[in-house]
Chain A
Amino acid sequence: MNAISVSGVTKSFRGDMSLKKREVLRGVTFEARSGEALGFLGSNGAGKTTSIKIILGLIRADGGTVELFGRPAGCRDAASRTGYLPEMPYFYPHLTLAEFLEFCGRLSGVPARDLARRIDRVLETVDLAPHRGLRLKGFSKGMLQRAGLAQAILHDPDLLVLDEPFSGLDPVGRRLVRDVLVDLKARGKTIFFSSHILPDMEALCDRVAIIRDGVIAKTLGLDELVRLGEGRIEITARGVRPGTLAGLDECVSSAAPRGEETFVVVREQRFVRSVIERLYERGADVISVAGVRRSLEDIFMQEIARPAWPARAETPGGERSSEPAAFVGF
């Protein structure tokens, strides 16, 4: 069964000043299968947060249907099986962390006798145990983000809906959140999260749904994600002259001189040997060889950040050169 199934959801917002409505979601359709980690990718303003709020029943869709575990969005038992981390979480500043979690646990219907133990455990998990007695108004942004994760997993939900769970975290915090999510996934939980931090998404997701201008532009499956990882090879060489690589067109996709050096992009692993041999034969020097990945980031730049208007046909595979794998990430 699908943990989330969203079909044909539309939503318009009325501007503050005008009565004219702006359509923000224009038929969003996707599903998160039970037990999978589904990433939700899209540029600012694409409609991620709006979709998530509809899934949770905080706002109503104008059209279309949303079901969680086969039940309509916002209903009680869907809510008790779901954990949610809002985009910019605001918590009650007057509560201490432990009091806050107690409050959340009660609302989620965690049995009173389990509550203290559960709180201890999630505080360990998100590494905030030393701060349990501190009022939330004294928390830093990253600590709040982790407190937010703690309240989302407190009642051991089957589905986690996380709106940018990695924002505001330092590398240690990001690793921590990632580990928590990996662990939850290993325990069979469904995870649906939006993020702009692509390496995290690549590491965690089974599939990625890409939203653009209020519609799902593309859904990448696990095999497509894997295929992204196999890439071309980039060779940096010195002393390459015009004609050095003549006749290797099927192996080499581009050769771009930059100063004394030339970046040669080889289409596939199996052509590397012949290209390198040719370079040595013709007196060129190979400086480096690096595997190039077409990462989600490239996809992001190409498929998403691209302005909506040019109706150009997409070139599968992509001809742009991209960064060597070693440099991918922030």
Chain B
Amino acid sequence: MRRVAAVAINTFRESVRERILVVAAAFGAVLMGGSVFLSPLAVGARQKIVMDVGLAAISIVGVLAAVFLGGTLVHKEVDRKAIYLVLTRPVSRSAYLAGKLAGVVLAVSLIVAVMAVVLAAALVLGNVAPRPAVFAAVYLSLLEAAVIASIVVFFSTFTTPMLASFFALCCFAAGSLSNDLRVFAEKFGGAGTRIAADAFYYLLPNLRVFNLRHEAVHDLPFRAVDVALATGYAAVYVAAVLCVACLVFRRREFA
């Protein structure tokens, strides 16, 4: 556990010092700031837009950061052989991967936290107290980013950062739509299509459960138990992906 933490902290430190974080956070802040000044609307409507754009930005920037960091950090270490110094110590390969993933998630959390603070400030400046649903939505976005991060880390154990990022983004897109895809296949597809769609449905993360943005923006009620269930789902999904990634990674050679 101490070793997982050491790898995680090192990964976190690396991404913080790489300044990607700053870029990502600045991007999100500009997006939100822009929406404040550019919308010549009545106050109530403007706050809705700020919230809508802000939450969407948090979700997208979080996922992109996860994809970027997860795709490069593992691969870079293998490619430049820094990994020799880690794996020749009494550190299991699984501990290494878990640490890497934890570090990426930590870094993404920092980005998301910074952007959430900016969003909250924008709302407070507009005389709206941020509702709990807003924070719940941000939290779920973070879980979503963590799920995507685990997928990137999985792919990056055997492909290049480009491909790993690409596959992960595909999973993100498909995961956001997997409900619809299944419904679509059930309505119009033959038996084969339906089985394939089912397989996809269970294999891909169902990212729907991490989307509370609509409720947050329109001040609709949400259930705390859904948030708890989503947390459990994310934990199980990440753990499962990590296990498969470890199986692949354990067989890998570092020549």
Contacts and interface: CB of A to CB of B under 8 A. Distances in A.
Interface of A: 13, 50, 53, 56-60, 76-77, 79-80, 82, 84, 86, 88-92, 94-95, 99, 103-104, 106-109, 151
B184 interface: no
B10 A95 contact: yes
Given A89-B81, A99-B13, 8 more contacts: A79-B88, A80-B89, A80-B90, A90-B81, A90-B82, A95-B10, A95-B13, A107-B6
Interface in B1-29: 2-3, 6-7, 10, 13-14, 17-18
A58 B84 CA distance: 7
B207 to A, nearest CB: 32
Contacts of A80: 89-90
B6 to A, nearest CB: 4
**Size category, B interface:** 20 to 34
6 nearest interchain CB pairs?
A: A106-B6, A80-B90, A59-B253, A94-B17, A107-B89, A79-B90
Contacts of B94: none
Nearest to B2: A106
Nearest to A59: B253
A58 B87 contact: yes
A328 B251 CA distance: 46
B243 interface: no
Contacts of A82: 88
A54 to B, nearest CB: 10
A148 to B, nearest CB: 8
Given A13-B255, A90-B80, A92-B82, A56 B6 contact: no
Interface of B: 2-3, 6-7, 10, 13-14, 17-18, 80-82, 84-92, 253-255
Nearest to B7: A107
Contacts of B7: 107
A7 to B, nearest CB: 20
25 contacts: A50-B255, A56-B88, A57-B88, A58-B87, A58-B253, A59-B255, A76-B90, A79-B88, A79-B89, A80-B90, A82-B88, A84-B84, A84-B88, A86-B81, A86-B85, A88-B81, A90-B82, A91-B82, A91-B85, A92-B10, A94-B18, A95-B13, A106-B6, A107-B90, A108-B90
Max chain A CB contacts within 10 Å: which of B13, B89, B90? B89
Nearest to A94: B17
Contacts, number: 73
Nearest to A60: B253
A155 B110 CA distance: 33
Contacts of B82: 90-92
A164 B7 CA distance: 27
A239 to B, nearest CB: 61
B3 A106 contact: yes
A13 B254 CA distance: 12
A103 B6 contact: yes
A59 B84 CA distance: 11
Contacts of B92: 76
Nearest to A91: B82
A13 B255 CA distance: 9
A58 B254 contact: yes
Contacts of A57: 87-88
A77 B89 CA distance: 9
A58 B86 CA distance: 11
A48 to B, nearest CB: 14
Contact of B10 (A56, A86, A88, A103): A103
Nearest to B84: A86
Nearest to A76: B90
